[in-house]
Structure 1
Amino acid sequence: MLQSMKLPDGLWPVMLTPFTKTNEVDLDGLERLTEFYIEAGSNGLFANCLSSEMYQLTEEERLLVTSQVVKKSGERVPVVATGTFSRSVAENVAFIKKIHDTGVQAVILITSMLAEPDESEEVLRGRLEQILEQTGQIPLGVYECPVPYKRLLSPALMQWMAQTGRFLYHKDTSCHSGALERKAQAIGGTDFNLYNADTTTALDSLDAGANGISPISANYYPEPYRYLLDQYQQYGRSEEVTRLHAMLTMMDRVTHTYYPYAAKVFLQRRGLKIETSTRIPCETMPQVDRLRFQALMDSFQALAAQHGFPLVLQPVHYTDTTASL
């Protein structure tokens, strides 16, 4: 297990969970997926998250998935995973300890699981204090997960969290450049890292001091995001970085539909050996959306050719546009 330390900057994919055709957790597929993320240049992995269909997993499966990712990652990249699935502080504390025992670098708290929509931020802080008191020195993080509802944190609360020395990871879903800047300033110079979930505001957040990005589109194609971060670090907002970011922003509008099913189909078409099974009900994709996803694949390949970044997996070519993509 990696020792407790400040998490690395960069790209943090929110991991999918592969299932077999009978909807059991596919451990072999999970190993292949984990290796894919790492080979594509990920700096860390967020397992057992919303993209992982965490609410559709049993407690035993959440622990199994997380431990498998930690084992496969070894000491190459750190792993974080969700530890709160209840309104009860006691139940959350018990599971936080279990998920920490898998070897994760930090256990993530879902902001909207800790307080009801009509409860104040003071109530939320009180519950965070209880968790801190009852979990020893376990490193923690927070995720403004949109399910069960999106609960955004204030810069003031984040500053307090940073000052506790226990929080290492924040996945931000505000999708607002001004809010991201204020949060980044509030925790600047501490071990509390901010990772932006939103592609559109990615460059603005990096300009403001965010530590990295964690968009769901990185589950389709992590390579251009890795390239974007590398180029930004070297050259700032160069013309190339700006053009690439603009394309990723437009492509991002497609990736959010039929998710996470579409991401699994896309990865399968890229040559990753996983099934497209999900536990989240998904409507049959009409032809117009299949064509949009084919255009997404074409755009991704065009970006790779234009910018010259290597692909971990080469897309498989299909000519039948009525086939499922």
Structure 2
Amino acid sequence: MTATIQGIIPVMLTPFTEADAIDYSGLENLIEWYIANGADTLFAVAQSSEMQFLSLEERVALARFVVEKAAGRVPVIASGHVSESRDDQVTELISVAATGVDGLVLVTNRFDPKGQGGAVFMDNLRHLLDALPADLPLGLYECPAPFRRLLSDDELAFCADSGRFAILKDVSCDLATVKRRVALTRNSSLAVVNANAAIAFDAMRAGSAGFTGVFTNFHPDLYKWLLAHSSEHPALADDLSVYLALAAMAEPMGYPKLAKLYHQRLGTFSCARSRAVDFDIRERFWALDALLDKIMQGQENFRARIAATR
């Protein structure tokens, strides 16, 4: 394995035009924003990218574009693992692997789409491992859609022992589970990276190798500071961790369209269209713009406090 896949890993948005095509100009701006704001790796074609609502051709084109524009400055990983049948999964994953990504992320619920249990999971996992390029680092993603399928300790140990895996995007949302998984994978190449904002700081202190939650689309720089500098300024880190957890409570209010409204404000791209969220989130969630105001005010307050420590 050549790429180190850990740190602050934004789960990338996919901007669309009003005509419902991928907005590649806006996507290029977004890539630059992530990198300028502390991203260590980019996770393209994830649930935040609305991968379940993209055609295979769009998923492949999206991954290829991110690799091209990142231009080696940070590693790029991608999933696009949405199909049910083995043959379709092999086709989609080999197609994404061919785009030049530094890591290919496998979705755990796809190994057991009907909830039949561990034996089916392992049989399908082994089948895919045999079909995928042996030299390409792999990742695991406990994607919540269409359902969250957490790895058992035995399944995680198998993946760690295989030497094929570089990262687990942990969606257990449970600190005790993160700690146990960090211990299970300690002597392997597999990094456990938590995705839950409520436990982000505690998970980092417990050995999570970064953060890859949805609010990396709002303030990856603040998570980066927490990861890199919390031990130098513990009181500020504690305050920041509380703000980050509370800000992330806005996720149910129409994410990922919520994040697209935020990037409209920043000028990253002009259209907040989402295929996953096809309703007016301002109409459904009252005072949404006021909430975004407060999130942005909190960002600036903490950025000022951080700047004062330098």
Q: Which residue of 2 aligns with 1:157?
A: 155
Q: Is residue 78–residue 103 contact of structure 2 (8 Å, CA) maintained in 1?
A: yes
Deviation for aligned residue 1:156? 2.1
| CA offset digits 1:264-313 (Å, max 9, x no partner) | 1111212323321111212341442222222222222222222228xxxx
State which of 115, 118, 134 in structure 2 corresponds to 1:121: 118
Distance 1:90 1:140 in 2: 19
Distance 2:300 2:158 in 1: 44
Deviation for aligned residue 1:172? 0.8
Distance 1:231 1:117 in 2: 44
Q: Quick one: which amino acid aligns to residue 61 of structure 1?
A: E
State which of 173, 176, 180 in structure 2 corresponds to 1:175: 173
Q: Which residue of 2 aligns with 1:278?
A: 274
Q: Which residue of 2 aligns with 1:242?
A: 238
Deviation for aligned residue 1:204? 2.1
Q: Quick one: which amino acid aligns to residue 69 of structure 2?
A: K
Q: Which residue of 1 aligns with 2:255?
A: 259
Q: Which residue of 2 aligns with 1:301?
A: 300
CA RMSD of aligned residues (A): 1.8
Q: Which residues of structure 2 form unaligned runs of 5+?
A: none
The reply to whether residue 92 of structure 1 matches residue 89 of structure 2 is yes
Distance 1:227 1:91 in 2: 41
| CA offset digits 1:152-173 (Å, max 9, x no partner) | 0122211110111111121111
SS across alignment from 1:200: helix
Q: Count matched residues.
A: 305
Q: Is residue 142–residue 150 contact of structure 2 (8 Å, CA) maintained in 1?
A: yes
State which of 229, 232, 236 in structure 2 corresponds to 1:231: 229
* TM-score, normalised by the number of residues in structure 1: 0.89
Q: Is residue 154–residue 183 contact of structure 1 (8 Å, CA) maintained in 2?
A: no
SS across alignment from 1:201: helix
State which of 64, 76, 80 in structure 1 corresponds to 2:77: 80
Q: Quick one: which amino acid aligns to residue 84 of structure 2?
A: R
Distance 1:116 1:94 in 2: 17
Deviation for aligned residue 1:97? 1.2
* TM-score, normalised by the number of residues in structure 2: 0.93
Q: Which residue of 2 aligns with 1:214?
A: 212
State which of 240, 264, 269 in structure 2 corresponds to 1:268: 264
- Counterparts of 1:27-66 in structure 2, within 5 Å, are 27-66=24-63
Q: Quick one: which amino acid aligns to residue 153 of structure 1?
A: L
SS across alignment from 2:4: coil
Q: Which residues of structure 1 form unaligned runs of 5+?
A: 310-325
Q: Which residue of 2 aligns with 1:104?
A: 101
Runs of 4 or more above 4 Å deviation:
none
State which of 192, 198, 201 in structure 1 corresponds to 2:199: 201
Q: Is residue 195–residue 214 contact of structure 2 (8 Å, CA) maintained in 1?
A: yes
Q: Is residue 253–residue 281 contact of structure 2 (8 Å, CA) maintained in 1?
A: no
Distance 1:128 1:83 in 2: 16
Give aligned-pair identity as a percent: 31
Deviation for aligned residue 1:244? 0.7
SS across alignment from 2:43: strand
Distance 2:49 2:133 in 1: 27
Q: Quick one: which amino acid aligns to residue 280 of structure 2?
A: E
